[in-house]
Amino acid sequence: MTDIKAVKDYFLNLQQTICTELTAIDGQSDFIVDQWQREQGGGGITRVMSEGAVFEKGGVNFSHVMGDKLPGSATAVRPELAGRSFQAMGVSLVMHPHNPYVPTSHMNVRFFVAEKEGHDPVWWFGGGFDLTPYYGFEEDCVHWHQMSKQACEPLGEETYSKYKKWCDDYFFIKHRNEARGVGGLFFDDLNEPGFDKSFEFTRSVGDHYLKAYAPIAEKRKNESFGEREKTFQKMRRGRYVEFNLVYDRGTLFGLQTGGRTESILMSLPSDVGWYYDWQPEPGSEEERLTDYFLKPKNWLA
C-alpha cells in the first residue's frame, strides 16, 4: 500500500528545511519562490538563490507531475511500463558556491508511480547525493562518506557499498573518462523492501544531505582564493554541465515529459568556462584533483 500524500508532505517539508539552513549558511541572500503549474498535469515550487555571499547560484526544486504515458527515457529502462499513466514527484537541488574551495553539491529524492487499469500499480523510489569539489580536502571527503554511510543504516550493512559504487558508476563523464566528483550515494527502482522501508530509507537520504554538506560549506566558505582558482572552478563547472546535458537521467526525463525548462536547467552554473586542451601544472593542486580525488576510492578505509 503506497501513501502518496505522506511522500509529498515529506518532500515539501524537506525543501523548506534545506532552504532555511542554506540561507543561514549564506548569510546574505534568500531563495526566491516560484510556484508553477504544468499544462499536462501537476506543477511544483522552484526556489532559487543567486549572487549570495556564499552561493553564486543554487536551486532547490519540488515537483509533482503526472501524465498519460511515460517518456522514452523511462520506458527504455522499463519497457513493461509503456502505455501506463504516471505520477512523479521529488526534490532536487544543486548548490554552486562562489568560493572554489567550497564544493558544489547535488541531492535528489524522488518517487514514481505508474498505473494501468486492471494491473497493480508499479512504484519505486530513487535518489542520492554527491559532492563535486574543485580543490580536494581529504577530511571533507571522509565526512561526506561517513554521512552517506549513516544515511544507509535503515537498509542494513551492505547498502552503503552498493549505492556508493552505483554513484561512482553513474556520475562518470564517459567522453572525458573521469568522475564528476567524489561520489556519495545513488539508488533507483527501490521497492523490494516494501513501501514503508523504502520510504524510510529515502527520508534518511534526504535528511542526511544537510548533515553531510553544511559542515563542509561552513568550514571552507572563508578560504582566500584568487583568479587562478576561479579559472579552474569555471573549467570544472564545464564538466558538470557536460554531464548534466549528456547523461543525467533526471534532466532527460524532465525535458522529454515537457517539463518546465527553467526548473530542469536550474542545476547549471551561471559562470562556466571551456578552455581548449587545458592541462594542469604537474604537481599542482589542480592536477591532484583529477589524479587523486576523482579516482573512486574507499574514503572510509
Binding residues for a divalent metal cation: 96, 106, 145, 175
Q: How many CB atoms lie within 10 A of CB 153?
A: 14
Question: Which stretch of DSSP H or E encloses residue 95?
Answer: strand 85-97
Q: What is the DSSP string of 214-272?
A: HHHHHHHTT----HHHHHHHHHHHHHHHHHHHHT-HHHHHHHHTT--HHHHGGGS-SS-
Distance CA 87, CA 116 (A): 12
Q: Measuring CA to CA, which residue among 242, 266, 269 is closest to residue 92? A: 266
Say which amino acid occupies 237.
R
Q: Is 64 a catalytic residue?
A: no
Say which amino acid occupies 225.
F
Q: Which residues are annotated as a binding site for substrate?
A: 92, 108-110, 258-260
- 166-182: string of b/e by CB count within 10 Å (b at 16+)? bbbebbbbeeeeebbbb
Among candidate residues 106, 119, 143, 208, the one labeled active-site is 106
Residue pair 49/29 in contact (Cβ under 8 Å)? The answer is yes
Query: Distance between the two ends of the chain, CA-based, in angstroms?
Result: 40
∠265-36-126 over CA atoms, to 5°?
55
Distance CA 212, CA 133 (A): 14
Catalytic residues: 106
